[in-house]
Amino acid sequence: MSRRWLIVIIVLGLSGCSDDAATPERPDVIHLRAWAHAGQAAERRVIQAQVARFNERTPDVDIKLTLIPERSYNAQVQAAAIAGDLPELLELDGPYLYNYAWQGHLQPLDGLLPGDLSNDLLPSIIAQGRYRGRIYGVGVFDSGLGLYASRRALSRAGARIPGGPADAWTAQEFTALLQALAAHDADGAVLDLKLNYPGEWFTYAFSPILQSAGADLIDRNGYQSADGVLNAPAAVKAMTTLQAWLRGGFVDANVDDGAFVTGRVALSWAGHWEYARYAGALGDDLLLLPLPDFGHGTRTGQGSWVWGMTATGKRAEAAARFLRFLLEPGEVLAMADANGAVPARQAAIANSERYGDGGPLRLFVEQLTEGYAVPRPQTPAYPVITAAFQQAFFDIRDGAEVRAALDRAVAAIDQDIADNKGYR
């Protein structure tokens, strides 16, 4: 009886070893693996079509694409990185790029991207991909973050409509606006901050408040400490204002993610991905406005998925060809049309309905090209920074003393940087 089971176990083991069908590799073709995040259906279709088209176009390079669910993407990449099992080409969630570069997994892309391409890319894309002076990642699209509003509700409250980023509401104006709107609102909640979203959103969407106030997440000279920056008086003041909005009943819990589209709130602090849904619900009543100015001008978030490369030598050349293909204006536009994001190239933007001149989302382009968008800190310490900021945000939302919450975040960040010997 026990022998029978021994056989079963052996068979299992053998079957386990042979479940990855081995495709015979032709010697004259370079085989590369690529990982991408499995986003919305349209996005997936585009990337799959792109890989197919590239393979056809370049017979001496063959790319095998694996799509990995978005929510678990970072975790899976990290696990593969530790196991030494990363593919030659892979997407990375923007601000996590630096940690992988520091770990030594990524190869620099300098020299592999032609000059005219680099000049045509949005400055935000270059900024996001740079670590220690070299480019480790390049994005095909960037993100946009702003304040969607209902024109009718604003005019009912007698608010002025900002014409552009230079003209944004100040934080005080915004607070007064919230109160004016709340006077006409059934439950007093007039602002949607997407409190139902998962973790990274909070750093992406609300750290710009710090920068707008003249503070920041960390001292970007050397990235060695957050003390005096994240817990600076300006930061404390800005986050206290945010806390007042949250605790004052002005913010909808948004459990159903429908506060704005059902008209419960007049304002929604959201990203480019909401445009389609919002436009569908509000039509001409929809406005896109810059985020409030906390003293040093409006600031907004930026950054999204980037492509990185682990391949070296000849394989690096081949991988770079794929990246250059993805960055062709036509391809960039195809992806941006599919996921609604900001195309990474000016050439593509010019041809985009949404982002071209006069397009409804032109504000996002302005923000990215005119310096209103701030990249999340380009440091390997980013995972810890974002975890600490999120924790601080949640504590502040739940009524903690702002200075203490920010101090705790600073302590966690500084401790981590010290533990990692400054991430040198």
Partner 1 sequence: MTRAAWLFAAPALLGLLLFVALPFVLAFVLAFTNLRLGSPLPLEFVGLEQFHRIFSDPAFLRALLNNAVFALVVVPVQTLLALGLALLLNRRLKGLALFRTLFFMPVVFPLSLVSVVWILIFAPGANGMMNAFLETVTLGAWQPRDFLHDPVLALPAIMLTSVWQGVGFQMVIILAGLQAIPGGLYEAAAIDGASRWRRFWHVTLPQLRNTLIFVVLVTTILAFRLFDQVQIMTQGGPRNATTTAMYEAVQAAFARQQVAKGAAITVVLFLIVLLVTVLQRRLVRQEREIA
Partner 2 sequence: MKRWWVNGALYLGLMALALVFIAPILLMVAGSLKPDARVLIEAGSWRALLPDSVSLRNYGDVFSRVDFTRYLLNSLWITACVVVLGLVVNAMAGYAFARMQWRGRDLVFGLVLMILIIPLEAIAVPLFYQVTLWGWRDTYVVQIVPFIANAFSIYLFHTYFLGLPRELEEAARIDGAGVLRTFVSIIVPNARPAFASVAILTFLTQWGAFLWPLMVTSGEAVRPLPLGIAAFYTLPPLQWGDIFAFGVMMVAPVLLLFLVFQKWFVRGVAATGVKG
Chain residues binding partner 1 by CB under 8 A are 2, 75, 78, 81-82, 99, 102-104, 187, 253, 255, 383-384, 387, 394-395, 397-400, 412, 416, 419-421
Instruction: Give phi and psi for 416, each to the nearest 5.
Output: -65, -40
- 19 contacts which partner out of partner 2, partner 1, none, CB within 5 to 8 A by kind? partner 2
The Cα–Cα gap between 196 and 143 comes to: 19
- 35 contacts which partner out of partner 1, partner 2, none, CB within 5 to 8 A by kind? partner 2
* Under rule CB under 8 A, residue 6 binds partner 2: no
Strand ranges in 94-135 using DSSP code E only, listed in sequence order: 130-131, 134-135
* Under rule CB under 8 A, residue 75 binds partner 2: yes
The Cα–Cα gap between 47 and 331 comes to: 9
Considering the complex, what minimum distance in angstroms separates the CB of residue 91 from partner 2?
Answer: 13
Cα of 11 vs its chain's centroid, Å: 45
Evaluate whether 373 touches 190 at the Cβ level (below 8 Å): no
* Under rule CB under 8 A, residue 85 binds partner 2: yes
Q: How many CB atoms are located within 10 Å of the residue 93 CB?
A: 16
Stretch that binds partner 2, among 32-40, 94-102, 202-210, 306-314 (CB under 8 A): 32-40
With a CB cutoff of 8 Å and minimum separation 6, the contacts of 362 are 355, 356
- 40 contacts which partner out of partner 1, partner 2, none, CB within 5 to 8 A by kind? partner 2
Q: Which residues lie across from 121 on neighbouring strands?
A: 345
- CB-nearer residue toward partner 1: 161 or 244: 244
* Under rule CB under 8 A, residue 7 binds partner 2: no
* Under rule CB under 8 A, residue 35 binds partner 2: yes
Evaluate whether 194 touches 269 at the Cβ level (below 8 Å): yes
- Write out the two tokens for 188: 């007093």
- 76 contacts which partner out of partner 1, partner 2, none, CB within 5 to 8 A by kind? partner 2
Q: Which of 7, 15, 158, 314 binds partner 2 (CB under 8 A)?
A: 15
Q: Which of 55, 197, 297, 369 binds partner 2 (CB under 8 A)?
A: 197
The Cα–Cα gap between 305 and 319 comes to: 17
Considering the complex, what minimum distance in angstroms separates the CB of residue 165 from partner 1?
Answer: 33
With a CB cutoff of 8 Å and minimum separation 6, the contacts of 295 are 170, 171, 212, 213, 214, 234, 238
* Under rule CB under 8 A, residue 23 binds partner 2: no
* Under rule CB under 8 A, residue 240 binds partner 2: no
* Under rule CB under 8 A, residue 38 binds partner 2: yes
Considering the complex, what minimum distance in angstroms separates the CB of residue 196 from partner 1?
Answer: 9
Say whether 132 sits in a helix, a strand or coil. Answer: coil
DSSP secondary structure of 289-315: EPPPB-SS---EE---EEEEE---HHH
Where along the sequence are the contacts to partner 2 (CB under 8 A)? 1, 5, 8-9, 12-13, 15-17, 19-21, 35, 38-41, 66-72, 75-76, 79-80, 82-85, 194, 196-197, 255-258, 262, 273, 277
